[in-house]
Amino acid sequence: MNKIELPPRALETLFGVHDANIKYLESILAIRVNTRGQDLTIDGDPQDVKTVKQILGDFGDLFAEGNSFTDKELQSAFQQIADDRAYSLKDYFTNARFNPSGKKQVSPKSANQRKYIEAIHNNDLVFGIGPAGTGKSFLAVALAVHALFQKKVSRIILTRPAVEAGERLGFLPGDLQDKVDPYLRPLYDALFDLVDSERINKMLEKRIIEIAPLAFMRGRTLADAFIILDEAQNTSSQQMKMFLTRIGFGSKAVVTGDQTQIDLPRGQQSGLIHVQRVLKNLRGIEFTYFNEKDVVRHKLVQMIVKAYESHSNGSSDVKKA
């Protein structure tokens, strides 16, 4: 019999505001969940019923252990389980979710984000490639902060090429750091979202966290560090090789980029595109690819990404929402 019993408070959390969580689960799987008191009954496609029974069983165990849940997290977990039946609610809330510094809980919003987190945990060099808004840079920074606070590394180094500046860099006000800061601002934003500003400022002063243009990496060996190269589509092949050969003992590196947004001069090959051919068969290096389904910004961003992809593929059949 497809019946599960949960205590009242667990049911309240599971169903969410206006039953949004259960309605979402019913929308992505061919099932119907009914309640009678503390009992839940599940009807529908046998395979989906089996999946939902596992979800609800895991939820009951996790709730009894004192775990907390948000509606967004539950719905995200439901979607990832629907996409990959080997994945479970316990996997999501005990392995994928983490709190880098105690300020903000971070969890994957899609299956590809989860694979990206797992790849970074399991490899010393990972490439995250895909469109804007898919969480490539933010998740990398979150994992870097987590590694630092867990004392797995002694410093964080965040870098980007300042290709957009070109010859105009000298016309910006201030010293060299002031001139390049606008191009590094997204990395600052991610850090301040994850860690209290006072703590971040102290770590920046002590060089525990370093944010600098890619050109500043030349000639250095970066050991015992978590290194992130952001906007890597704007590196040349030579710059990419230079960066990758900076990695020292005890370090982990993540390279992120969107190969549809290359700002290099016409005719110059992107190091991000070139490196995929050069390193594709090397063990210990993993490439994670994102698409428009992984976009976690405003829903319009997902639609825009899809529209541009369709246009570049010679298609104009993008439907209006």
Phi, psi of 45 (to 5 degrees): -60, 130
Alpha-carbon distance 254 to 124, whole Å?
Answer: 8
pLDDT in tens, 147-179: 999 999 999 999 988 765 443 445 555 555 666
Place of tokens 């590694």: 147
Domain range annotation of the chain: 3-96, 111-312
Residue 180 is predicted with a pLDDT of 64
Q: Which residues pair with 31 in a beta bridge?
A: 44
Alpha-carbon distance 10 to 7, whole Å?
Answer: 5
pLDDT in tens, 2-55: 778 889 999 999 999 999 999 999 999 999 999 888 889 999 999 999 999 999
Contact call for residues 218 and 191 (beta carbons, < 8 A): no
- In the DSSP assignment, the letter for residue 86 is T
- Fold (topology level) of 111-312: Rossmann fold (3.40.50)
Residue 319 is predicted with a pLDDT of 46
Contact call for residues 93 and 62 (beta carbons, < 8 A): yes
Q: How confident is the model at residue 320 (pLDDT cuts 50, 70, 90)?
A: very low
In SS3 terms, 96-144 reads as: HCECCCCCCCECCCCHHHHHHHHHHHHCCEEEEECCCCCCHHHHHHHHH
The CATH architecture one would assign to domain 3-96 is 2-Layer Sandwich (3.30)
Residue 96 is predicted with a pLDDT of 85
Angle between helices 71-83 and 111-122 (to 10 degrees): 90
